[in-house]
């Protein structure tokens, strides 16, 4: 740990909660979230029904909604890689349908890139390259047919540009395809993005050619067009090239101009707008990499829940990289604020109430009684509400505290998962922590203080790999004493309806049904018979109550501290300043003995501790304190 990090840790603990407090929680963030109509089509396709997809693409063709059509075709083509039956039946039923043929053409290209992977050429095996080029050559007649069946459509030419890059087509072929795309829609974003990829340094162009193309397209784009952010995508490609050259950066001015243009474009869209998510994710990455954290936080705030695969996938798992960059931005800003300065308030931008609308609805099912859970959770660092779930299980949820505990501030993960991690330690019974948001549902299984299994269902995500699902199902079966893990694996591989699959898993494990209201309100257990609150303790108070509470008795709530008046603060601050000055003077002056120097130091530390404890216990949220049972 760097020394500067150690000195700034108190600032992080004090301010990080407030910085970005209006950002949606991690569990609400969804990768490439489709709009409602596309979500329906993807869910139906996963179930083998192509009718919603056919209706959706027919509308985009009839109304010449080329950008939306491109997005829908791309998502449906990727979905068909994992569930090909619906597309095959669609083509059998209507072999000349321009929409079905277009999805098939794009499927070829996605399949080819799935074989090749996104690694640099030097890391791709020769067999992968051969299969990659074979699939791309097979795509040529299908792409041509898609272009002929709908001559006004620029999307087949976007597919053609991607295919041309993959087969290393010469420049004249690329120029022909780009001219055909521009003739149909001169400002089509998808075609320009693929052209930029062809012209970047890692493929067949150079930094200069890439920037020139992007800047020219942005200069000619109409107001509000997402092509104004094309130079920003060039910036990302330039940054990931990771080229170090002596002297000043020759592209610094162009990078700055691209960022300024993208920020102006972002300002013309509403916060959380799905249509702006693509370039806003690029903007957040660039600002974060340039250490412009205030501006990066504003970009993350505008993104809301809509993380996109690109550009984050360049660095690893896209969603995880996005969340890590967002968290790092908050920490860096917190480190720069003096400890005693008030934490900043989020701007009043009229953004959606993330905490209310998109915060994950969480509940845990512990395989033991409420009293056992309460006694095991005395030092978990969170206030909990428990309710009996049948005769052998307990529902558990978090009760928001008006003051966040020190341990909670140090733990970045979800509060209920953190609490279950603590209260299952050294216990034989497991706890299944369930989360649900509008787009995704998930669970984490904790046993003896360890996370032994986890899984996530997303609305438009492909089915989980069979091997991975089987391994998770085997762990679940072992913990819950089931002999056959295959029904569990079937539920884990299900797609299309995350909430339903989560409920099916709970039933398959033989656990009590999910409590009524789960997925709606944030707190749902208060109305259940036998519900009780376990108020949060400090570590030492929790240890004391653990040793003194009788078995089979629910621990009583600790007494609440009353707020201190201004006079209390003034007197103790004056005492701290006096004894600190006295200690410094005593240790500095040789005529004063060690005893008085030590007494002055101890008193200074004592008053500092009193003030810090009171400062930490000041309310930091508007949530009322939990009522003691």
Confidence of residue 18 (pLDDT cuts 50, 70, 90): confident
Confidence of residue 624 (pLDDT cuts 50, 70, 90): very low
- Of 247-251, 375-379, 536-540, the one with minimum mean pLDDT is 536-540
Q: 73-114: per-residue pLDDT in tens?
A: 999 999 888 878 899 999 999 999 999 999 999 999 999 988
- Of 144-158, 378-392, 560-574, the one with minimum mean pLDDT is 560-574
Q: Give the Cα separation of 435 and 519 in Å (integer).
A: 9
pLDDT at 32: 87
Confidence of residue 561 (pLDDT cuts 50, 70, 90): low
- Mean pLDDT of the region 207-232: 95
- Of 78-82, 221-225, 403-407, 623-627, the one with minimum mean pLDDT is 623-627
pLDDT at 64: 94
Helix (H/G/I), strand (E/B), else coil: 150: coil
Q: Helix %, strand %, coil % for the chain, to 5?
A: 55, 10, 35
- Mean pLDDT of the region 484-493: 93
pLDDT at 351: 47
State the sign of the Cα–Cα–Cα–Cα dihedral 560, 566, 567, 570: positive
Confidence of residue 627 (pLDDT cuts 50, 70, 90): very low
Helix (H/G/I), strand (E/B), else coil: 16: coil
pLDDT at 1: 41
- Of 248-252, 341-345, 476-480, 483-487, the one with minimum mean pLDDT is 341-345
Give the DSSP per-residue string, 318-346. Answer: HHHHHHHHHHHHHHHHHHTS-TTSPPPPP
**CB of 444 closer than 8 Å to CB of 451:** yes
**CB of 504 closer than 8 Å to CB of 521:** no
Give the chain's mean pLDDT: 85
pLDDT at 465: 83
Q: 234-247: per-residue pLDDT in tens?
A: 999 999 887 666 67
pLDDT at 357: 58
State the sign of the Cα–Cα–Cα–Cα dihedral 178, 184, 185, 189: negative
> Please, which residues have CB within 8 angstroms of residue 200's CB and are 6 or more apart in sequence?
207, 210, 234, 237
pLDDT at 253: 93
- Mean pLDDT of the region 426-443: 89
How buried is residue 41: exposed, middle or buried, by Cβ count under 10 Å (0-12/13-18/19+)? buried
Q: Which carries the bigger pLDDT value, residue 175 or residue 129?
A: 175
Share of the chain above pLDDT 90, in %: 47
- Helix 207-220 to helix 189-199 angle (10° resolution) is 160
pLDDT of 401 over the 60 cut: yes
Highest mean pLDDT among 21-35, 44-58, 279-293, 399-413: 279-293
Helix (H/G/I), strand (E/B), else coil: 504: helix
pLDDT of 477 over the 80 cut: yes
Confidence of residue 538 (pLDDT cuts 50, 70, 90): low
- Of 172-181, 269-278, 358-367, 401-410, the one with minimum mean pLDDT is 401-410
């Amino acid at each position: 740990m760097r020394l500067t990090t150690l000195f700034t840790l108190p600032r992080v603990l004090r301010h990080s909660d407030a910085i970005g407090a209006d950002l949606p929680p991690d569990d609400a963030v969804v990768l490439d979230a489709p709009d409602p109509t596309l979500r329906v089509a993807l869910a139906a396709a996963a179930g083998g029904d192509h009718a919603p997809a056919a209706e959706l693409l027919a509308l985009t063709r009839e109304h010449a909604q080329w950008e939306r059509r491109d997005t829908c075709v791309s998502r449906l083509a990727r979905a068909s890689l994992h569930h090909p039956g619906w597309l095959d039946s669609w083509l059998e039923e209507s072999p000349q349908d321009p929409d079905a043929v277009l999805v098939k053409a794009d499927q070829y290209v996605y399949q080819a890139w799935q074989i090749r992977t996104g690694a640099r050429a030097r890391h791709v095996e020769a067999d992968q390259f051969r299969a990659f080029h074979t699939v791309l050559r097979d795509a040529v007649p299908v792409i041509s047919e898609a272009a002929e069946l709908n001559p006004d459509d620029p999307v087949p030419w976007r597919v053609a540009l991607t295919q041309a890059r993959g087969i290393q087509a010469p420049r004249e072929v690329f120029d022909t395809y780009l001219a055909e795309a521009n003739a149909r829609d001169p400002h089509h974003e998808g075609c320009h993005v693929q052209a930029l990829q062809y012209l970047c340094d890692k493929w067949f162009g150079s930094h200069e050619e890439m920037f020139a193309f992007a800047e020219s397209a942005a200069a000619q784009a109409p107001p509000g067009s997402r092509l104004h952010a094309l130079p920003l995508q060039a910036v990302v490609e330039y940054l990931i090239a990771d080229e170090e050259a002596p002297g000043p950066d020759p592209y610094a001015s162009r990078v700055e101009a691209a960022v300024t243009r993208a920020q102006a474009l972002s300002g013309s869209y509403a916060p959380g707008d799905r249509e702006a998510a693509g370039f806003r994710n690029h903007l957040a990455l660039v600002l974060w990499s340039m250490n412009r954290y205030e501006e990066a936080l504003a970009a993350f705030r505008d993104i809301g829940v809509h993380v996109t695969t690109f550009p984050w996938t360049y660095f690893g798992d896209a969603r995880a990289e996005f969340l890590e960059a967002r968290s790092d931005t908050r920490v860096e800003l917190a480190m720069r604020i003096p400890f005693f300065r008030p934490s900043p308030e989020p701007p009043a931008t009229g953004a959606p109430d993330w905490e209310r609308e998109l915060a994950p609805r969480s509940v845990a099912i512990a395989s033991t009684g409420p009293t056992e859970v309460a006694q095991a959770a005395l030092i978990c660092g969170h206030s909990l509400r428990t309710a009996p779930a049948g005769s052998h299980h307990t529902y558990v949820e978090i009760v928001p505290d008006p003051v966040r505990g020190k341990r909670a501030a140090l733990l970045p993960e979800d509060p209920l998962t953190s609490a279950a991690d603590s209260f299952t330690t050294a216990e034989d019974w497991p706890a299944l922590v369930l989360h649900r948001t509008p787009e995704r549902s998930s669970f984490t299984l904790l046993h003896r203080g360890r996370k032994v299994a986890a899984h996530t269902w997303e609305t438009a995500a492909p089915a989980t790999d069979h091997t991975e699902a089987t391994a998770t199902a085997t762990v679940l079966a072992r913990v819950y004493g089931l002999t056959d893990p295959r029904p569990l694996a079937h539920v884990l591989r299900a797609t299309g309806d995350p909430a339903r699959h989560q409920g099916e898993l709970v039933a398959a494990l033989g656990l009590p049904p999910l409590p009524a209201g789960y997925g709606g309100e944030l707190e749902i257990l208060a109305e259940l018979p036998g519900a009780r609150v376990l108020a949060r303790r400090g570590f030492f108070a929790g240890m004391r109550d653990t040793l003194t509470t009788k078995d089979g008795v629910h621990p009583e709530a600790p007494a609440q501290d009353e707020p201190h008046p201004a006079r209390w603060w003034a007197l103790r601050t004056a005492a701290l300043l006096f004894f600190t000055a006295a200690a410094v003077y005593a240790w500095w002056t040789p005529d004063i003995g060690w005893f008085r120097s030590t007494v002055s130091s101890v008193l200074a530390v004592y008053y500092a501790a009193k003030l810090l404890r009171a400062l930490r216990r000041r309310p930091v949220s508007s949530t009322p304190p939990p009522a003691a049972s």
